[in-house]
């Protein structure tokens, strides 16, 4: 068992960015391991001896885990606490921001993040809030973001800013703005290089405008539900473009992006007045977020970010969306689900043109949980997390009194938290953008979400499609290897053979997704790019030269150049008689994917910010 726990930690750390796993989240795992050793192990064994099904095992374990959590002061040990505004903390954060802002330091991006956090912690109308906005206006001025500077001056005044400094700054900004406007009016306008949005390469299904009509959903013993193409597909084809059902920002973007639309708006974020964990780009996003989900995650969001892994964050947001979809009435949601015939829900045949929010919700509710396949230890860990989350929701949201009055609703809520935790665990996808790291662009994820139809794609370590996040959060599925008519489409669950060794991929896939991968890359042990690069034959050295050339072009991030090489790479991949995984084909495919990211992912404005900062 220790091995399983070690694999569990290792799996988590290897694949889910250890830096994003907070100290308390690690504590929580240690607590879980303690509980496992003290009493869970024999209980699970007993469930096995009694031949209990996964569902019965859960019913059997829930009360035991609940008792253990209550009797072992788990909440205190995890330091879970109400999220309150705190002007002292706000002042501290602002002073750290000032250090970053200092002319000798000039780390404006870090300073902005700290000022934003200070704004989030400050009380409404407080001097602290006014000062943080005023400081943010100063950075805007330094970075020549004049409109945003004026907005911050307005926000500072609305927060009762009383000093003189802002009048002078406002004058300065207005002058600079007038000058900039005159300059723009007199200079000839250069039209920006607009990259067209990708579109489906084939007519859409009549019932589902987000899917090409050549895709069908099938089901078999080996793969469960899976997606097959009824026509041959070429590299570069776009076969799905789907909107996520739910998304959650990653921790490191909370003070940079809007919690609702996820736009990168560090200079103008405004805080939620109920918590310190969510900021928005506008009153409109703030109110949409509140009505769609935040009324249920407001009181617990900070604890979720600090003490739980991302699965729990998305889980709670899904619960919140589910309840708001049913007019904030958990009992109506329960009645709906009691009456739902899950086997009849099929996102590929449903009419999306007429679908209600409730129909769309059904497609997510029936995503796979893998409950029957999952190792009991992991089921127990989900129960442990779900039980803590359930307690927090009861204590800190309006669902508390509703559940107290109705034990059936109370149990339903816990069951739902547990179900969605399992769904999220094996269906979540990363949303990516082109981040700028001092002097180069890299693909990075800023959020995690769930998509109803894209979730039907199974995994291969040598996939034939690639998901690309578009700037509005939709995900486009591009073909990256020629696909024969009648074949299955395979995505990669962030475990491609070009990056990870077989052993590592297989342990992650079995750990998170509960299946043993038998894809071609696992069967024939395809090499990683590193191994291919280290090869020293003549073809490889030519290949390396080309790889360096393509990388240079890609890192220029110039649309025209990238579009040209994207077309070149696509033709090569469609026409080459060489077979995958010959090194040339692997390299060109990796470069092709990068060209799609450069062209279609949203590109951070960070490169622009850095011009004003100290390197």
Ligand X SMILES: C[S@@+](CC[C@H](N)C(=O)[O-])C[C@H]1O[C@@H](n2cnc3c(N)ncnc32)[C@H](O)[C@@H]1O
Binding site for ligand X (CB under 6 A): 222-226, 368, 370, 426-427, 455-456, 458-460, 513-515, 517, 519
Nearest to ligand X of 384, 511 (CB atom): 511
3-state secondary structure of 465: strand
Q: Kindly tell me which of 2 and 221 has the beta carbon lying closer to ligand X.
A: 221
Could you tell me whether strands 238-242 and 475-479 are parallel, antiparallel, or unpaired per DSSP bridges?
A: antiparallel
C-beta of 451: minimal distance to ligand X in Å? 10
Distance (Å, whole) CA 310 – CA 428: 10
**Smallest distance from ligand X to CB 83, Å:** 32
Task: Tell the smallest beta-carbon distance from residue 426 to ligand X (Å).
Answer: 4
Cα 438 to Cα 432, 597, 608: the distances in Å are: 18, 19, 10
Residue closer to ligand X, measured from CB, 136 or 225: 225
Nearest to 597 by CA among 445, 438, 494: 445
Q: Are strands 602-603 and 429-437 parallel, antiparallel or unpaired?
A: parallel
Q: How far is the CB of 449 from ligand X (least distance, A)?
A: 13
CA nearest neighbour of 69 among 412, 387, 422, 392:
387
The length of the chain, given as a count of residues:
615
Residue 354 Cβ, how far from ligand X at the closest point, in Å? 24
Query: Cα 600–605–610 angle (5° rounding)?
Result: 140
**312 vs 422, beta carbon nearer ligand X:** 422
> Rg of the chain's alpha carbons, rounded to an integer?
26
| Per-residue buried b or exposed e for 25-38, using 16+ beta carbons within 10 Å of the residue's own CB | beebbebbbebbee
Peptide bond into 519 cis (omega under 30): no
- Tell me the CB-side half-sphere exposure of residue 477, using CA atoms within 13 A: 27
DSSP bridge pairs for 478: 238, 466
How deeply is 191 buried, as exposed, middle or buried, from its count of CB atoms within 10 A (0-12, 13-18, 19+)?
exposed
The tokens describing 250, both together, are 């990653």
Q: Among residues 39 and 223, whose Cβ is nearest to ligand X?
A: 223
Cβ-proximal residues to 33 (8 Å cutoff; 6+ apart), any chain:
5
- Integer angstrom CA distances of residue 330 from 132, 336, 360, 406, 413: 39, 10, 17, 11, 8
Compare residues 134 and 456 and give the one whose CB is closer to ligand X. 456
| Cβ at position 455, least distance to ligand X in Å | 5
Largest alpha-carbon pair distance within the chain? 83
Q: How far is the CB of 370 from ligand X (least distance, A)?
A: 5
Cα–Cα distance, 478 to 471 (Å, whole number) = 16
If you search the block for the tokens 């005023």, which residue do you land on? Answer: 134
Q: Shortest distance, CB of residue 35 to ligand X, whole angstroms? A: 26
| CB nearer ligand X, residue 455 or residue 464 | 455
CA distance 90 to 367: 41
Closer of 275 and 367 to ligand X (Cβ): 367
Instruction: Please give the residue whose beta carbon sits closest to ligand X in the complex.
Output: 224
The Cα angle at residue 446 between residues 440 and 447, in degrees rounded to 5: 160
Three-state DSSP class for 458? strand
SS (H, E, C) 332-360: HHHHHHHHCCHHHCCCCCCCCCCCCHHHH
Helix, strand, coil shares of the chain, percent, nearest 5, are 55, 10, 35
> What span, in angstroms and rounded, lies between the C-alpha atoms of 200 and 482?
16
Nearer to ligand X, 219 or 437 (CB): 219
Minimum CB distance to ligand X, residue 467 (Å): 12
Quick one: 54 or 442, whose CB is closer to ligand X? 54
Tokens of 31: 């607590």
Comparison of 397 and 460: residue with beta carbon closer to ligand X: 460
C-beta closer to ligand X: residue 397 or 458: 458
Cβ-based nearer residue to ligand X, 236 or 347: 347
User: Rounded distance, CA 319 to CA 182, Å?
Assistant: 52
Closest approach of ligand X to the CB of residue 454, in Å:
8
Pick from 117, 118, 133, 131: nearest CA to 87: 118
Distance of closest approach, residue 549 Cβ to ligand X, in angstroms = 34
């Amino acid at each position: 068992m220790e091995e399983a726990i070690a694999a569990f930690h290792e799996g988590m750390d290897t694949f889910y960015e250890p830096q994003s796993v907070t100290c308390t989240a690690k504590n929580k795992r240690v607590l879980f391991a303690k509980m496992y050793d003290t009493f869970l192990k024999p209980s699970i064994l007993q469930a096995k001896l009694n031949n209990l099904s996964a569902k019965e095992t859960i019913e059997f374990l829930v009360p035991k885990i609940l008792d253990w959590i209550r009797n072992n002061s788990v909440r205190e040990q995890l330091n879970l606490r109400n999220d309150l505004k705190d002007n002292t903390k706000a002042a501290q954060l602002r002073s750290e921001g000032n250090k970053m802002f200092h002319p000798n330091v000039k780390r404006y991006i870090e300073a902005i993040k700290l000022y934003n956090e200070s704004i989030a912690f400050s009380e409404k109308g407080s001097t602290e809030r006014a000062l943080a906005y005023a400081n943010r206006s100063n950075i805007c001025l330094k970075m020549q973001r004049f409109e945003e500077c004026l907005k911050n001056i307005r926000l500072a005044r609305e927060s009762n800013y009383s000093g003189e400094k802002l009048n002078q700054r406002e004058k300065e900004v207005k002058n600079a703005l007038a000058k900039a406007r005159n300059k723009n009016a007199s200079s000839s306008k250069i039209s920006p290089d607009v990259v067209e949005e990708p579109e489906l390469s084939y007519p859409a299904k009549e019932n589902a405008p987000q899917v090409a009509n050549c895709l069908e959903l099938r089901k078999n013993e080996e793969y469960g539900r899976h997606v097959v193409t009824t026509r041959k597909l070429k590299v570069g084809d776009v076969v799905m473009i789907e909107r996520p059902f739910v998304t959650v920002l990653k921790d490191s973007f909370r003070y940079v992006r809007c919690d609702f639309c996820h736009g990168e708006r560090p200079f103008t974020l405004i805080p939620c007045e109920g918590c310190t964990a969510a900021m928005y780009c506008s009153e409109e996003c703030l109110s949409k977020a509140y009505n769609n989900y935040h009324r249920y995650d407001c009181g617990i969001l900070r604890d979720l970010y600090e003490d739980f892994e991302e699965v729990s964050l998305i889980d709670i947001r899904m619960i919140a969306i589910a309840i708001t979809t049913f007019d904030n009435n958990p009992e109506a949601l329960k009645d709906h689900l009691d009456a739902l015939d899950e086997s009849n829900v099929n996102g590929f045949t449903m009419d999306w043109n007429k679908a209600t929010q409730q129909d769309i919700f059904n497609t997510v509710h029936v995503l796979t949980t893998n409950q029957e396949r999952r190792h009991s230890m992991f089921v127990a860990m989900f129960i442990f997390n779900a039980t803590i989350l359930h307690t927090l929701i009861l204590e800190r949201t309006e669902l508390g009194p509703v559940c107290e009055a109705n034990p059936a609703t109370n149990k339903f809520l816990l069951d739902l938290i547990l179900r969605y935790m399992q769904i999220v665990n094996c269906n979540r996808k990363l949303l990516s953008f082109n981040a700028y790291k001092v002097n180069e662009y890299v693909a990075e994820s800023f959020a995690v979400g769930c998509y109803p139809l894209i979730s039907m794609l199974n995994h291969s370590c040598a996939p034939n499609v690639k998901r690309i996040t578009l700037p509005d959060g939709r995900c486009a599925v591009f073909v990256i290897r020629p696909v024969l008519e009648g074949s299955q489409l395979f995505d990669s669950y962030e475990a491609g053979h070009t990056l990870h060794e077989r052993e590592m991929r297989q342990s992650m896939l079995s750990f998170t997704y509960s299946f043993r991968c038998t894809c071609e890359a696992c069967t024939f042990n395809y090499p990683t790019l590193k191994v291919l690069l280290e090869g020293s034959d003549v073809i490889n050295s030519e290949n390396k030269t080309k790889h360096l050339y393509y990388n240079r072009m890609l890192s220029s991030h110039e649309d025209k150049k990238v579009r040209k090489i994207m077309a070149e790479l696509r033709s090569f991949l469609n026409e080459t008689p060489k077979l995958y995984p010959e090194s040339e084909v692997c390299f060109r495919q990796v470069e092709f994917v990068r060209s799609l990211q450069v062209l279609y992912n949203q590109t951070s404005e960070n490169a622009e910010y850095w011009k004003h900062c100290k390197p």
